Amino acid sequence: MATKPKGRAGTIKEPVITLSAGPVATYPAVQRAFAAPVQYDFDPWFQDFYEQVAKKAAKAMRVRQPALILQVEPAPGIEATAASLISSNDVVLNLASGVYGKGFGYWSARYHKEMVEIEVPFNEAIDPAAVKAAFKKRPDIKVVSLVHHDTPSGTINPAKEIGKIVRDHDALLIVDAVSSFAGMDIHPDDCYADVFITGPGKCLGGAPGLTLMAVNDRAWKHIKKNKKAPFASVLSLTDWKDAWSKEKPFPFTPSVAEINGLDAALDLYLAEGPENVWHRHALTAKATRAGIKAMGLALWAKTEAIASPTCTAVRVPDGVKDSDIIATARAQYGVVFSSGRDQTKGKLIRIGHMGPVAEPIYATVAVTAFGGALRKLGKKVDVGAGVEAALAVIAGGK
Amino acid sequence: MATKPKGRAGTIKEPVITLSAGPVATYPAVQRAFAAPVQYDFDPWFQDFYEQVAKKAAKAMRVRQPALILQVEPAPGIEATAASLISSNDVVLNLASGVYGKGFGYWSARYHKEMVEIEVPFNEAIDPAAVKAAFKKRPDIKVVSLVHHDTPSGTINPAKEIGKIVRDHDALLIVDAVSSFAGMDIHPDDCYADVFITGPGKCLGGAPGLTLMAVNDRAWKHIKKNKKAPFASVLSLTDWKDAWSKEKPFPFTPSVAEINGLDAALDLYLAEGPENVWHRHALTAKATRAGIKAMGLALWAKTEAIASPTCTAVRVPDGVKDSDIIATARAQYGVVFSSGRDQTKGKLIRIGHMGPVAEPIYATVAVTAFGGALRKLGKKVDVGAGVEAALAVIAGGK
Amino acid sequence: MATKPKGRAGTIKEPVITLSAGPVATYPAVQRAFAAPVQYDFDPWFQDFYEQVAKKAAKAMRVRQPALILQVEPAPGIEATAASLISSNDVVLNLASGVYGKGFGYWSARYHKEMVEIEVPFNEAIDPAAVKAAFKKRPDIKVVSLVHHDTPSGTINPAKEIGKIVRDHDALLIVDAVSSFAGMDIHPDDCYADVFITGPGKCLGGAPGLTLMAVNDRAWKHIKKNKKAPFASVLSLTDWKDAWSKEKPFPFTPSVAEINGLDAALDLYLAEGPENVWHRHALTAKATRAGIKAMGLALWAKTEAIASPTCTAVRVPDGVKDSDIIATARAQYGVVFSSGRDQTKGKLIRIGHMGPVAEPIYATVAVTAFGGALRKLGKKVDVGAGVEAALAVIAGGK
Amino acid sequence: MATKPKGRAGTIKEPVITLSAGPVATYPAVQRAFAAPVQYDFDPWFQDFYEQVAKKAAKAMRVRQPALILQVEPAPGIEATAASLISSNDVVLNLASGVYGKGFGYWSARYHKEMVEIEVPFNEAIDPAAVKAAFKKRPDIKVVSLVHHDTPSGTINPAKEIGKIVRDHDALLIVDAVSSFAGMDIHPDDCYADVFITGPGKCLGGAPGLTLMAVNDRAWKHIKKNKKAPFASVLSLTDWKDAWSKEKPFPFTPSVAEINGLDAALDLYLAEGPENVWHRHALTAKATRAGIKAMGLALWAKTEAIASPTCTAVRVPDGVKDSDIIATARAQYGVVFSSGRDQTKGKLIRIGHMGPVAEPIYATVAVTAFGGALRKLGKKVDVGAGVEAALAVIAGGK
């Protein structure tokens, strides 16, 4: 069978179309930016460039303070947030509607005094009323953690409503918006996030390897008070607090090539217009859901209202294995899907709509490859009906 | 509406998926190769590199003599062939089954003594028997010109059979295989081509800007005898005859970046295995044709046997305009098709299956976008049936 | 010995620093632009992009009409100019101060009625008074051809003065500014050029493969009258006259990747500021000349006033061969120089100062590598003095 | 003033030549590799690719076990090593001959039971006899930490001799070879390193953002016994232990683009031949040192024998400030040098010879720009003599 391009390791044929939940296919302009010279981090050019990128990221996040950029992908970025923000005096409210939400509790446990948890089935969303109730019961809650889009479930939590409640109770809110930001209308201030965490490798269509954060003064104040907050450490937010400024040195070497790529991803997002970008994410997801349902398959999300516009989770039908669907779609069509993670593993398959593949035509690709793979595995599915349903949504245009 | 990435001129959104008849989407590895440093053409490194690329192109064409590379895209490459090969003593047999075949006659007319032409309707192929008959009538035919794949019609001529006849009559054969080579089983020697012309911008998935030729000794001998064959000219084949050799200077500056890209395109083709490459071109075309027919549309080619595996021409249905179909597919789905050219303009639409989009999943994309566009324009088409038919072919795998 | 990077043909080590007379080292941003997707030339995005690039090139050339872009490097571009502009009624005045100037006469001879030639030794420049005298003697001169920078000599002709004389006599002027434009202050209108020819592969720091032209109405009028002006040909200017417009089709496929690269090269030139770009070319050349002279070597140009700011030609000292100097500098330092061409071959060596290497530090590199190579070949040269002299110029800053 | 290329943030002109101590200028082939598509980390293609890259890194390090790749640049990679390897039962011997060596002690202090330190002036190297003596005094030393090339001093420690002693005493050895590996003959096994740490952003000519490690079974055994060794953490080595295998999942998302770049950097290193690479690093450093001394300047290293072949530290002459030298070389020549760090800051300037600039011609560039800057600042330096001395070394060829 066909093999690798010369000059690149790997003996398997690269995919044709990647519809993963991330890392996602990158925009061509991002790839070109990655090819830029790696400039010396202490040179004034790079120090100025970094400041401008941090400001551009802030512009995209619609905050005034230049973005805090950590030189790690968002998972360790979130770990660093837990390490830096949560002190041994803090009662934490962990909101768990999925694998990532649940997982934050384990990091939190290393640092907090006590944790209160609201957990819902992993195909549901957190109810703001439950958050309100939790505060009533435990007014000493100091830090709340919320995953906006719990990617392993493809579900969205009502961050804006929850954020309002948290702020009203004067607690600090961490929002993991890694796979929702830039694919839908979510920003630090509109959800009252004190620490807002995202990255370039999802809806921005960039590469993984950095964490973009907006940390407000309330959070910095709390971090400052935290005697055990890491410093001189990859887990430290403090180390990088002022690193955006061209006047300040970097605590360790920034990932220069990643910054080059981020710059381009932000340019694309701002130039296209965030509303336009969100629209094509939403339309692609809606068309995908219509197609999936028309083939007689079930969405994972309990209600379509909480289904993510950036990733569609499909319940694995009885009698087939998730890994067989993924392998078959890959082998027959070169199309890549994502499986679930941990508790959702085996139960759902995820179709990403992030960055360059958040384009309606890919909804029909997804439906075709998903349905075609199921048929190959012996399931009766009406792929034609699926494509027609997706097309009807696309024709509607919203 | 969405706009251009910063740093690149253009105010229109770039397409999502290009299924054109060429220039085609390039392989990512070709794009990276284009980013290589532009080395000085007189430096030993580049002279050696050029020789190796010329030899690699010969390997791909399955000839022994290093390829003749002209620093122009194939249209002027063919013009240069006419100018160099055809002398004022030559009777030319022009085989016209399409716009490009017909067009060669006009170039020929500048140089030949007399022209005999076999012309068939532009949805048919040349009959080898007619060629045989022409030689019987005019045994003084010296040069024969054949377009293997007349791209504006998406039809294939029986080059191997015709080539045998031409050689048997000791005439010289020019074969334009620009848009068939590397997408199907066609090489200079198996069709007895004395001058075989192709380029990197079609099935090789490279960029336009070069002509790749295999010119055999019979042809060089004829060119040498042609007193009016151009020299010190962009129309000269002779100037570039020995330029492949690292020991010989270039007559004018080669297009260094294009050579960088060509090198990568050839590497990919040879590494994947030509047979594998042809197979995915053929399967994609077959699936596309099945889908098109299942939607009740007609192929342009009179018989499916002559439909090209690298480009599917679809007859424009009554009551709609080709330009509206193309514009609608572009606007709704970001999918790009090609119109016809000259005499086929307005009558057909072309769906390219060349290079990186010669992958079966793109057959379903083509069918979906084509059908969806027609429906938007008020035609009743069963897109679902089209996709199903395409899937059935893909599932069959051949 | 060290060998090639995997994935790129070639068995010789690539140079470290290229100081050639062109093709030159390209700017990194140009290389990245070359990696952009190759869009379909009939797609509205590309048609719009092409128009914008043609307008950007016009802006750089300081003319109003979008640039005429030919899809060939400048040598065939000049051939096409001769073919298109010069009719069999035309008396041509050919100004030959070097190999390229002399060479134009051979192309002209294919088309003109008669040629008058002013030839000076190839280390001198054309005297405007001689041009005036020629017109006095032959008032029927219709077309004048001038090479502004005769690259094989590294000398500059007084284009502005000569242009004024030509215009005053109502003749048409062709100016070859291929290797001077964008490296010094020369534009079509300030030298009264009716056809001004340049390209991206020299001082713009782009790749070879395109010709950029400014053709004014006087020239187009003359071409229109020329019954033998080529059409449907790579030698035709007419074919491409309106191709800049997004409303007009291309006569044949443009070199899409080259247009991508050109766009970036023009952006860089305009963003840096032409005056800044010219300044660093001039300063680098001046420092180089100072260093060369301080080592006891002789410039090729008869007077320093006519030495090009984009290329320094150095007389080959007695007792050594040009090819040995070039090979030694390459082997010891990885530094690439250019030899002469034809009549200047063996007599001089050229050090390019074009595009990214038009930076003063490269003057010291050139002096060091040139002097070091000579010493290796047994000549006594004071390299230290050469570097000091170059540094003194750089310190002066102009 | 010259400005930024469009499409890239930053308002300062990018440097012309970067001779930093890292991040260093990257090889063009690495930059192209960075432009490759970002593939999904769970796709079989990427899992296979990652395994191959890990094996290629092992080949470069001359160990059998696939390399441990951490998705952070080496500083946090070293922090993670301290966190994972050093337990609260361990007595650590910290060898401090520079800023980085000294700094390790602070990380160690978070985890160890007790630390013994051998500190020498920061322009000297650790004496193996002192290590032997330390073991004699404290046979309970369990972990030894050594920086092979303490970059802020540009000095090399005798890792092979020290390693032998450590192994003889059955302690574990951490070797930080970040800025020496791939620029000279140093590998895990020849210095008895149990944990060997390097990265792509120095002598490999790649980008920062990854840590490459060779961890042997002795070290893994110790980590396994360390109850407090981090897991589910960016500080964990254990998490990534088996991630090289295509059969094993990644603990968090790897930096896909960085892996693409690393692959190319390793290819280049292995294709050129390590011995060839080391040779040009050594020759460039030697020529630089000769030039610096000939200008009457002093090397920072107490003896030239311990001066690094990958970075030359020059003592800042009296009466000038390091930052002025750096700024002047940048402004006049576009040449970038590095300052010292912490205790060496202000006292020395570093000239990097790593990756693509480890070419002898850059020794003359360094000498010229360094000397030229000093002269501009009012110091009398004989730049000519400096260049001559460098040339003499280059001519000698070793």
Residues of chain B neighbouring D7 (CB-CB closer than 8 A):
5-8
Predicted confidence band of residue D14 (pLDDT cuts 50, 70, 90) = very high
CA distance C350 to chain B (A): 13
Q: Shortest CB distance from B208 goes to which of C76, C253, C338?
A: C253
- State the pLDDT at residue D11: 67
Min distance D161 CA to chain A CA atoms (Å): 30
Q: Please, which residues have CB within 8 angstroms of residue B26's CB and are 6 or more apart in sequence?
A: B205, B206, B207, B261, B265, B355, B356, C37, C38, C257
CA distance A156 to A151: 9
β partners of residue B184? B181
- By C-alpha distance, which of C192, C149, C376 is closest to C281? C149
DSSP SS3 for B285: helix
Please name the residue ranges forming H helices in chain D. Answer: 28-34, 44-61, 74-85, 99-109, 128-137, 159-168, 217-225, 256-272, 274-294, 322-333, 361-376, 383-396
**Minimum distance, in Å, between the CA of residue C109 and any CA atom of chain A:** 46
Q: Please answer yes or no on whether D33 and B33 come within 8 Å at the CB atom.
A: no
Q: According to the model, what pLDDT value does residue B8 have?
A: 58
Chain B partners within 8 Å of C42 (Cβ): 20, 338-339
- Per-residue pLDDT tens over the stretch B297-334: 999 999 999 999 999 999 999 999 999 999 999 999 99
Per DSSP, chain B holds a count of helices (H) and strands (E) of: 12, 14
Q: What is the average pLDDT across A285-302?
A: 98
Q: Would you call A361 and B31 a contact, using CB atoms and an 8 Å cutoff?
A: no
Q: Do C268 and D372 touch (CB under 8 A)?
A: no
- Contacting residues for B183 by C-beta, under 8 A, at least 6 apart: B202, B203, B277, B278, B281, B309, B310, B353, B354, B358
Residues C215-266 have pLDDT tens digits of 999 999 999 999 999 999 999 999 999 999 999 999 999 999 999 999 999 9
A273, B391: Cβ pair inside 8 Å? Answer: no
Percent of chain A scoring above 70 in pLDDT = 97
Q: Give D76's contacts in chain A (Cβ within 8 Å).
A: 71-72, 233-234, 252
Q: What is the mean pLDDT of residues C189-214?
A: 98
User: What is the pLDDT at residue C2?
Assistant: 35
pLDDT band of C11, cuts 50, 70, 90:
low
B334 Rama sector, left if φ>0, alpha if ψ -120 to 50, beta otherwise:
left
Task: Give CA–CA dist C175/C196, Å, rounded.
Answer: 5
Chain B, nearest residue to D4 by Cα: B7
Which residue in chain B is spatially nearest to D29 when comparing CA positions? B36
CB within 8 Å: A8 and C7: yes
Neighbours of A226 (CB within 10 A): 19
Q: What is the pLDDT of residue A9?
A: 56
- Is there a contact between A360 and B8 if contact means CB atoms under 8 Å apart? no
Task: Tell me: pLDDT of A398 over 80.
Answer: no
Please give the structure tokens belonging to residue D1.
């003033």
Q: Quick check: C361 and D333 CB within 8 A?
A: yes
pLDDT per residue over D263-318, tens digit each? 999 999 999 999 999 999 999 999 999 999 999 999 999 999 999 999 999 999 99
Task: pLDDT band for D12, please (50, 70, 90 cuts).
Answer: confident
Q: How far off is chain C from B100, nearest CA to CA, in Å?
A: 12
pLDDT surpasses 60 at A72: yes
Section D252-262 average pLDDT:
98
B160 vs B85, B128, B175, CA distance in Å?
21, 9, 10
Residue A5 has pLDDT above 90, yes or no: no
pLDDT at position D3 is 38
Kindly determine whether residue D32 and residue B37, on different chains, have CB atoms separated by under 8 Å. Answer: no
| Among A7, A33, A37, beta carbon nearest to C6 | A7
Q: Is the dihedral of CA C153, C154, C158, C162 positive or negative?
A: positive
pLDDT surpassing 70 at residue C5: no
Query: Which pLDDT score, from 0 to 100, does residue D398 have?
Result: 77
- Of D45, B331, D22, whose CA–CA distance to A5 is shortest? D45
Give CA–CA dist D13/C269, Å, rounded: 13
- Which residue in B79, B64, B57 sits closest to B217, CA to CA? B64
pLDDT at C6: 46
Residue B153 CA to residue D257 CA, distance in Å, equals 42
Asked if the Cβ–Cβ distance from C234 to B79 is below 8 Å, we say yes
CA distance A257 to chain D (A): 7
- DSSP element (H, E) containing B135: helix B128-137
Q: Is the pLDDT of residue A4 over 50?
A: no
Concatenating the DSSP letter of every residue in B15-56 gives PSEE--SSS-PPPHHHHHHHTS----TTSHHHHHHHHHHHHH
Q: What is the pLDDT of residue C12?
A: 86
Residue D9: is its pLDDT beyond 60?
no
CB C330, CB C360: distance < 8 Å = no
pLDDT category at D123 given cuts 50, 70, 90 is: very high
DSSP for B48-71, please give it: HHHHHHHHHHHHHHT-SSPPEEES
- At C351 the three-state DSSP class reads strand
The ipTM estimated for the assembled molecules is 0.97
Peptide bond into A76 cis (omega under 30): no
Q: Which residues of A touch D99 (CB under 8 A)?
A: none
Measured between beta carbons, the chain B residues lying within 8 angstroms of D29 are 36
Q: How far is CA D286 from CA C387, D281, D386, in A?
A: 20, 9, 12
Residue B10 has pLDDT above 90, yes or no: no
Looking at beta carbons, which residues of chain B come within 8 Å of C235? 234-235
CA pair distance A300, A285, nearest whole angstrom:
13
Of C234, C323, C324, which to mutate for an interface test with B (greatest number of B Cβ within 10 Å)?
C234
Residue D115, φ and ψ in degrees, nearest 5 = -125, 135
Between chains, do D40 and A31 touch, taking CB under 8 Å as contact? Answer: no
Q: Which of A9, A38, A75 sits opposite D49 (nearest CB)?
A: A9
pLDDT of B6 higher than 90: no
Average pLDDT, chain D: 96
Mean pLDDT of chain C: 96
Closest-CA distance of chain C to residue B34, Å:
5
What's the pLDDT tens digit per position in C30-53? Answer: 999 999 999 999 999 999 999 999
CA atoms within 13 A on the CB side of C336: 23
CB atoms within 10 A of CB D242: 13
Test mutation, A27, A30, A32, chain C, max C CBs within 10 A: A32
* DSSP secondary structure of A286-320: HHHHHHHHHTT--BSSSSGGGB-SSEEEEEPPTTS
State the distance between the two ends of chain A, measured CA to CA, in whole angstroms: 42
In whole angstroms, give the CA distance from residue C87 to residue C103: 18
The residue among C318, C303, C313, C357 whose CA lies nearest residue C335 is C357
Residues of A in contact with D256 (CB under 8 A): 23, 207-209
D361/C5 CB distance under 8 A: no
Cβ–Cβ below 8 Å for C35 and A35:
yes
Residue D336: list chain A partners with CB under 8 A: 40, 43
C5, C7, C28: residue with CB nearest A36 = C28
Name all chains with 3 or more CB-CB pairs below 8 Å to chain A: B, C, D
Q: What is the pLDDT of residue B4?
A: 42
Q: Is the pLDDT of residue B206 over 70?
A: yes
Q: Output the pLDDT for position D10.
A: 53
Q: Which position has the token pair 């920061």?
A: D122
Q: What is residue A66's three-state secondary structure? A: coil
Q: Does A14 contact D252 at a Cβ distance shorter than 8 Å? A: no
Residue of B nearest to C267 (CA): B7
pLDDT digits (tens, 9 = 90+) for A54-64: 999 999 999 99
Q: Which two tokens stand for residue D353?
A: 């010879």
pLDDT single digits (tens) B242-286: 999 999 999 999 999 999 999 999 999 999 999 999 999 999 999
Q: Which of A31, A235, A254 sits opposite D35 (nearest CB)?
A: A31
pLDDT in the model for residue D187? 98
- The verdict on a CB contact (< 8 Å) between C388 and D391 is no
How many CB atoms are closer than 10 A to CB B209?
31
Mutation site for A-interface testing, chosen from C27, C31, C32, C34 by largest number of A Cβ within 10 Å: C32
Say what percent of chain C tops pLDDT 70: 97
Asked whether the beta carbons of residue B36 and residue D37 sit closer than 8 angstroms, the reply is no
Q: How far is CA C357 from CA A75, C292, C360, in A?
A: 43, 17, 8
pLDDT tens-digit series, residues B49-73: 999 999 999 999 999 999 999 999 9
User: Is pLDDT at A281 greater than 70 in this prediction?
Assistant: yes
